Structure 1
Amino acid sequence: MTTTTMPGPPMLPLRRIQPIGSAAAVTCYLKTQWPRIGGPGIRPLPDTAFTDPAFLERYQPGLWIYPYLACCGADFDRPDLASGLKSVADSLHMPIYKLSATELADPRRRLGALNRMRYASHVLKPGGYEREPGFQDWTFQQFLPRREPLPGSPVSLDGHLFALRRPHDLSKRVFEKLLHHRMRNASLNGFLLTPAGREHCATLGLVPEEQQRWTNYRFGRTTRIDKAEELYIFRPDGEDSDRLLIILERIIHDWVMGKIARPPGNWRDRSQYSRRSSATRVA
């Protein structure tokens, strides 16, 4: 049984920290302590991690993969209308982005897929799932770390994206699961249902469950709707990009050095095993 928090007006007028008309997502002060990806225990590897003979003897480079940061919501035809993930960030006063990875040779092709599926466009209301506008114009955003990759690191910053040479025996699917596992503390959908997330929503007069994002996957006549789990509370400029770089380097190093248990064979992409949504309407 799901417990729903009833919406109400904001508890107190919010103190503005950005001028009216600012394009920033966070324009007012709230006391919420945002989670940072990786949590408080994140630590960089030693400077010699990727030049150590023990690593070099084990590391066999595989395919390139590109961790990316994306957002949407700038409607060129109707800039006066709030829409897309930018609208979600504005209403929650939180920095929210899609953070995942692609191994496409031209990563921009991934944006086309996100646009076609209207990734994260659905919310669950009392009457069923509803699709909100503005989720068909995804664009890459820039990572802006302040630290450099370690000497010999298989990770580099390639324009807007990180570029990473996966170990030969680490699949894309397993890499993505490891990445999201290490960032899960800053997941938007997860944070909203924590005590801090519920208090944050109450301050804004919002229902936490109705702020969670969903994606409607279609396979011919078959429909599957799942939570959009690749949305994170993330600040591209500075510490969060630094933390992501540490996470990426840690995954590669720990995998190569045998510090990560190999996943079970039944790990699979559930979105490909489609089922029809039942008992609720999909708009």
Structure 2
Amino acid sequence: MTMTIPGPPARPLRRIQPNGSAAAVTLYLKTQWPRIGGPGLRPLPDTAFTNPAFIERYRPGTLTFPYLAACGPSFDDDLPSSGLKNVADRLHMPIFKLAATELADPRRRLDALDSDQYASHVLTPAGYVQEPGFKTWTFQQFLPDREPLPGSPVRLEGRLFALRRPHDMGKRVFEKLLHRHLRNASLNDFLLTPDGRAHCATLGLVPEQQQRWTRYRFGPVTRIDKAEELYIFRPSGEDSDRFLIILERIIHDWVMGKTRRLPGTWRDRSQYSRRGSAS
């Protein structure tokens, strides 16, 4: 049962989907959702990956699978709505997890998300509270309208994108570059913007209590950190198109030396953070 504390009563909103609809957004709100990549995102030229300069420089590295995931009620849940589906319903926002894995069988990543119950916590005045339904993570389908460019190292394979990172781009570097391109649509960040606060106020919600957190256990040590891989995202059409453009740009711009290099080391905060314990 959710323990998030609502704010003042919200005024009635116009319904745009019938009662019982499975859609996350069932009421009309004036909020303009941010789009991943921001307003300046542009596709590469059609010849970007067939250009001899790129072909000469690109050396393929590790196979990586960018994915889209969500979770909702399971058969043993008592509640009809739970998990990330319940978060989306409560906020009337399209919310998904966007990230990448290099596991040979990407489905093993879902097992880890289920084990951690990724994004299952909220922070209330009484402390961290875990909400149900975060043990049923599944991959969702990207539904872009465009195809990868000719010669692109990125392809769509069923429910996942697949790409070969450049040989000199590490996993953590790729993840940080991906988040850099997606962060304008980060759920946790958006909630604290003026638009996000206005959106929550319309629904009678406290923005800080809608941010998502994950508790990680390492033997006797427990850490908690923000779930930073949740984004405002619509799988069909433009957002999936933009995601494909972002993946192609990450590879192309790195190979062609156009990427502003990020710091050489990062800590995985879920494992090394020295901030407060979740116990």
| TM-score relative to the length of structure 2 | 0.95
Q: Which residue of 1 aligns with 2:178?
A: 179
Letter in 2 for 1:130: V
1:22 deviation in Å?
0.7
RMSD: 1.5
Which residues in structure 2 correspond to 1:127-142 (within 5 Å)? 127-142=126-141
1:37 has 2:16 as partner: no
Give secondary structure in 1 for the equivalent of 2:246.
helix
**Higher mean C-alpha displacement, 230-239 vs 68-77:** 68-77
Q: How many residues align?
A: 275
Q: Which residue of 1 aligns with 2:9?
A: 9
**Unpaired runs of 5+ in structure 1?**
none
List, as ranges, runs of 4+ consecutive aligned residues in structure 1 with deviation greater than 4 Å: none
Q: Which residue of 1 aligns with 2:206?
A: 207
What are the Cα deviations for residues 53-112 of structure 1, in whole angstroms up to 9, with x where unaligned? Answer: 000000000111000000001222347532100000000000000000000011000000
**Higher mean C-alpha displacement, 21-30 vs 261-270:** 261-270
1:260 deviation in Å?
1.1
Give secondary structure in 2 for the equivalent of 1:64.
strand
1:271 deviation in Å?
2.2
Q: Which residue of 1 aligns with 2:92?
A: 93
What are the Cα deviations for residues 236-268 of structure 1, in whole angstroms up to 9, with x where unaligned? Answer: 000000000000000000000001133333323
1:274 deviation in Å?
4.7
Which residues in structure 2 correspond to 1:1-283 (within 5 Å)? 7-10=7-10, 12-78=11-77, 80-275=79-274, 277-278=276-277, 282=279
Structure 1: how far apart are the matches of 2:197 and 2:103?
Answer: 38
Letter in 2 for 1:14: L
> 1:167 touches 1:256 (CA, 8 Å); kept in 2?
yes
Structure 2: how far apart are the matches of 1:7 and 1:99?
Answer: 29
1:148 deviation in Å?
0.3
Give secondary structure in 1 for the equivalent of 2:134.
coil
Letter in 2 for 1:101: A
Instruction: Pick closer, same or farther for the CA change 1:100–1:130 going to 2, 3 Å.
Output: same
Q: Percent identity?
A: 77
> 1:122 touches 1:130 (CA, 8 Å); kept in 2?
yes
Letter in 2 for 1:9: P
Give secondary structure in 1 for the equivalent of 2:62.
strand
Structure 2: how far apart are the matches of 1:116 and 1:80?
Answer: 20
> 1:213 touches 1:227 (CA, 8 Å); kept in 2?
yes
What are the Cα deviations for residues 16-36 of structure 1, in whole angstroms up to 9, with x where unaligned? Answer: 111111100001110000000
Structure 2: how far apart are the matches of 1:50 and 1:110?
Answer: 30
Letter in 2 for 1:86: K
> 2:223 touches 2:271 (CA, 8 Å); kept in 1?
no
> 2:73 touches 2:79 (CA, 8 Å); kept in 1?
no
> 1:223 touches 1:276 (CA, 8 Å); kept in 2?
no
Structure 2: how far apart are the matches of 1:202 and 1:119?
Answer: 26
> 1:223 touches 1:275 (CA, 8 Å); kept in 2?
no
1:277 deviation in Å?
2.5
Give secondary structure in 1 for the equivalent of 2:65.
strand
> 1:223 touches 1:277 (CA, 8 Å); kept in 2?
no
> 1:173 touches 1:268 (CA, 8 Å); kept in 2?
no
**Unpaired runs of 5+ in structure 2?**
none
Letter in 2 for 1:168: H
1:143 deviation in Å?
0.2
Structure 2: how far apart are the matches of 1:98 and 1:159?
Answer: 17
Letter in 2 for 1:60: R
Structure 1: how far apart are the matches of 2:15 and 2:168?
Answer: 50
> 1:222 touches 1:275 (CA, 8 Å); kept in 2?
no
